[in-house]
Amino acid sequence: MKRCIYAPAKINFCLHVLGKRSDGYHDLAMLMQRVDLCDRIEIELSIGNGVTVRCPSLELPADGENIASRAARLLLKHVGTEAAVSISIDKKIPVAAGLGGGSSDAAAVLLALNEMLSTGLSRSELMDLGVRIGADVPFFIFGRTAWATGVGERLQPWPGLPPVWFVLVNPGIAVSTAWAFQNLGLTRSGATARIPEFPVGTNGLVRLLHNDLEAVTCQRYPVITSIKERLIADGACCALMSGSGATVFGVFPERHVAEQAARSYGGETGWWVRVASPL
């Protein structure tokens, strides 16, 4: 049995770091949005035992393990099923870019195997499994625009967006999420952040944008600030770093303006640049 699935990227419209927890993680409040940039994943089931993964564009660890294969092993162990699972990933989402590509791959594998093996796990049960692999995995299983709290596992649906397009720009810098949090100087602890109201037009969306991790990442990589400034100069109504970076997204009210801005980047810089729309 074989199945092809797509794992979308995400951006963070806002990311508030509320304080450090006793377990070493951080309490967060985030508004998260999926976009139509996707990894393509093929999963094949056969009789046997074991999980293998291949991703031609990436160098996998020596043991051949990544977050997608860990997701498959976790589900098989949880339901007590043996099967030979082969996973092939065609990466379109940059790695360590603040776009959640690995977490989305893991979520897609959990969702697909749940159906392929007819295990009958609910979405909530899959989300509980997913958070054991990565904090963003439950969001991708949730499958909707969401206000996320806790480490990112407590999710509330959010209505959506006015019609907008995004230009995603990554200057080829891989940023460690762990490094970003370790170097973040928290000035408050136990703060609260309320779920934002639905924005009326792009001006309302502009007022939502905020990322507590941006300052620490921009200090080390000033090019991120330069990208934000250029996106706005090229017609974006606002721009923000997604997650821990280094991808920056500009918000454009018109598609042709977004496409024009993206073309100028690709020709001049050699950076990774894509136009995307919300899912």
Please give the C-alpha separations between residue 189 and each of 28, 134, 210, 240, in angstroms, as whole numbers.
11, 23, 18, 24
Neighbours of 79 (CB within 10 A): 15
Neighbours of 120 (CB within 10 A): 9
Task: Say if residues 12 and 248 touch (Cβ distance below 8 Å).
Answer: no
Q: Which two tokens stand for residue 228?
A: 């934000």
**Residue entry with tokens 């951006």:** 11
- Three-state DSSP state, 256: helix
Strand 165-170 relative to strand 154-157, pairing:
unpaired
Read out DSSP for 25-57? -EEEEEEEEEEEEEEEEEEEEESS-EEEEE-TT
Q: Which residues are catalytic?
A: 10, 136
> Long-range contacts: 55-61, Cβ < 8 Å, 24+?
55/88, 55/89, 55/90, 55/91, 56/90, 57/90, 57/91, 58/89, 58/91, 58/95
DSSP H helices, the chain, are: 67-79, 101-116, 123-130, 137-142, 177-182, 201-208, 214-220, 223-233, 255-269
Q: Phi and psi dihedrals of 63, rounded to 5?
A: -85, 5
The closest alpha carbon to 13, from 35, 37, 30, belongs to 30
